[in-house]
Structure 1
Amino acid sequence: MLLGLLLICVGWHTMPGGAEVVTSFEETCPRFFFRETPPRIGLTPAHLVRICQRYRNQYRYATMYDRPNYIPLYSAYIYNPGKAKRPQNWMVEPQLVHLSLQPEMTSEKDLLKKHITRAELRESQAVLQDYKNLIDYNRGHLNPNSHQSDPDAKKSTFTLTNIVPQYAKLNSISWKKYEQQTMQSSSQGCKETFAVVGAVPGNNYVAGGRVNKPSHLWSAACCYIDNNHIRSWAIIARNDEDVVEHLTLGQLEEKLAELYQQNGISLFHSDCPRH
């Protein structure tokens, strides 16, 4: 398993706080995590970047981005589904190109007007061209637009920092069933449901060897009912077949510890039940 990843608990110290690319989720956009506690996955070296995904001057969700692999490691968000129209236009993250650029996501076309080159954009993150002409794979959201309520929140999920190459049949059948049916039924009675959806980097690539094709995709949720009642659930799927395995949160954390080759992983605050 490819493990060219940075220690999540430490941060990318050259990044300023308060912008979209940040040094600390806890300081900038903590509300997307249950009990304001980001995942602890503890991985090894290279360039993970924290992004508080910002659109129309609001933080919408949080993403840990694996820059060398051009995919997100995970996105964390509050589940709040709505029926607004599905967006069409894709965006990119300017501050992955250079910190002096705007802190809000924008289109490739608009960003290229800011005196940067296409090569600079391609070096910093995945671009639309990377997802063209894929065979058996397509753009798989970690934070899906269907889990957001209003048009702007849905549009914010259409950034290339929130997607991975996902097995197309999985994306359209079993994973979609989980997103649209299981999440809805499991969150009945919840006052607030926190989700973390992630990818395990694999050994294969698309786009001429540029963009990593994850070996597995996973999703976990922690649902707050009241102080005495909190529930959780989780799934994992190989990214080359249309099968979703339903797990407890604790089982998923154990499986991810094996896949990421770590001693232990915590996706949510300890108050969230593991069984």
Structure 2
Amino acid sequence: MMLWLLLLQVWASCLWLGHSEVVNPFASCPQYFYENTPPNNALLPQNPAWICQRYNNSYYYATLYDINRRIPVYSAYIYQPGPGTRRDEWMVEPQLIRNNLPKEMETEKTLSKNYNITSQQIGQNQAVNADYKNLTGLNRGHLNPNSHHNSNSSKYATFTLTNIVPQNSNLNGGAWNDYEQNTMANESKGCISNTTYVIVGVVPGNTSIANGRVNVPSHIWSSACCRMTSNKTKAWAAIVENKAKNITLLTLGKLEDQLTNLYGKGKVSLFHSACPRT
């Protein structure tokens, strides 16, 4: 009888492992990854959350979130720059509080009012507005920037703290902003409209803000892959230390090599194999 129970346990474990291997963590929003292929597990933090970022009843991008460090590992989206307005209020992710709350991002004020949730409950698994108050030399750095979207709703959706890291303020307003506005526009010339897939991420650092609640990344990186009018596929990438002024432009393959060394969790693959590494 004991042998039978042991064999049953082993069989059940195998079924569970097989099941977990085929589950797509971004099942509701695979469209934000080239060929529906997200990065491999070499970027996974110890306590991850896979977020399909939803606002105004629509999905706009995907985020892998590090619950322990309270920062995004990366945000993935389609590059569609255009006019629109910024949002003045910052939002949070209700699903990181408990899974019976709305699936759409919402402000802390609204969550507290409508669902009687405390600030402590909101901030247990994610950063909150108070974490970003009174910073010196750092500010809120978008991974997925609002300027890369072409409607008010899509721009508003980037103003959630699950898309934000503490970024060096000079970098955020200087070289990184130049990369977002100018380099991305130049590199995407020749790409077919709405086929530039972007993944922007960070490497966790050794310092933090808000009494240790929120990690300050050591590096910020960006990668992109698009289909071109010539029927070819193009990719490019960039990385910078979260204190430097100069951004290093490099191939997708070189970025993956650097991230492999920086993360130390095995070979990093950011995009589908169709995206050129050289």
Do they superpose with TM above 0.5?
Answer: yes
* 8 A Cα contact 1:94 1:101, kept in partner: yes
Checking the alignment, whether the CA contact within 8 Å between 2:87 and 2:159 is kept in structure 1 is yes
Deviation at 1:41, TM superposition (A): 3.9
Q: Identify the residue that residue 68 of structure 1 maps to in structure 2.
A: 68
Contact 2:66 2:72 in 1 (8 A): yes
The DSSP-based 3-state class of the residue aligned with 1:149 is coil
**Deviation at 1:177?**
0.4
In structure 2, C-alpha distance between the alignment counterparts of 1:238 and 1:77, rounded to whole Å: 22
Quote how far apart the aligned CAs of 1:45 are: 5.9
Which residue number in structure 1 is paired with residue 216 of structure 2?
Answer: 213
Which letter maps to 1:110? T
Separation of aligned partners in 2, 1:56 and 1:140: 23
**Bigger radius of gyration among the two:** 2
Which residue identity lines up with residue 152 of structure 1 in the other structure? S
| In structure 1, distance between residues paired with 2:245 and 2:161 | 23
Contact 2:43/2:73 (<8 A) preserved: no
Choose 107-116 or 49-58, whichever is displaced more.
Answer: 107-116
Q: Is the 8 A contact 1:139 1:166 kept in 2?
A: yes
The equivalent of 1:16 in structure 2 is none
**Structure 2 Cα separation of the partners of residues 186 and 29 of structure 1:** 25
* Residue 275 (structure 2) pairs with residue 272 (structure 1): yes
The structure-2 alpha-carbon separation of the partners of 1:53 and 1:204, relative to structure 1 and needing over 3 Å to count, comes to same
| Partner residue in 2 for 1:259 | 262
Corresponding residue number in structure 2 for 1:96: 96
Deviation at 1:44, TM superposition (A): 6.2
Matched residues in 2 for 1:181 and 1:158: separation? Answer: 22
Separation in 2 of the partners of 1:75 and 1:250?
Answer: 19
Alignment correspondent of 1:193: 196
Amino acid in the other structure paired with 1:240:
K
Q: Which residue of 2 is the match for residue 138 of structure 1?
A: 139
Matches within 5 A, 1:35-46: 35-43=35-43, 46=46
Q: Deviations over 1:146-187 (max 9, x none)?
A: 001100000000000000000001100100000000101111
Distance (Å, rounded) in 1 between the aligned partners of 2:124 and 2:44: 21
Q: Contact between 2:66 and 2:73, CA under 8 Å: does it hold in 1?
A: yes
| CA deviation after TM superposition for structure 1 residue 263, in Å | 2.7
Q: How many residues align?
A: 255
Matched, 1:110 2:110: yes
Gaps of 5+ in 2: 1-16
Q: 1:177 corresponds to which residue?
A: 178
Question: Which amino acid is 2:214 matched to?
Answer: V
Report the counterpart of residue 13 of structure 2 in structure 1: none
Counterpart of 2:124, as a letter, is: E
Where does residue 7 of structure 2 map in the other structure?
none
Q: Counterparts of 1:223 and 1:23 in 2: how far apart (Å)?
A: 22
TM-score, structure 1 as length reference: 0.89
Deviation digits for residues 18-65 of structure 1 (CA, Å, limit 9, x no counterpart)? xxxx9621x211110001100114256621100000001101000000
Deviation for aligned residue 1:262: 2.8
Structure 1 counterpart of 2:275, which letter?
C
Q: CA deviation at 1:117?
A: 1.5
Q: CA RMSD in A?
A: 1.6
Change in Cα spacing, 1:44 to 1:95, as seen in structure 2 (3 Å) is closer
* Aligned partner letter, 1:207: A
CA contact (8 A) 2:190 2:229 kept: no
Q: Give the structure with the larger helix fraction.
A: 2
Give the letter aligned to residue 106 of structure 1: E
Q: Hey, what does 1:153 align to over in structure 2?
A: 154
Confirm or deny: 8 A CA contact 2:233 2:275 kept in the other structure.
Answer: yes
The aligned amino acid for 1:46 is: Q
Give the match for residue 237 of structure 1: 240
Identity in percent: 51
For 1:79-132, what per-residue CA distance to the aligned partner results, in whole angstroms no more than 9, with x for missing partners? 000111122111000010000000000111001121222111111210001011
Structure 1 position 127 matched with structure 2 position 128: yes
Deviation (angstroms), 1:228: 3.5
Measure the CA separation in 2 of the matches of 1:222 and 1:73.
19
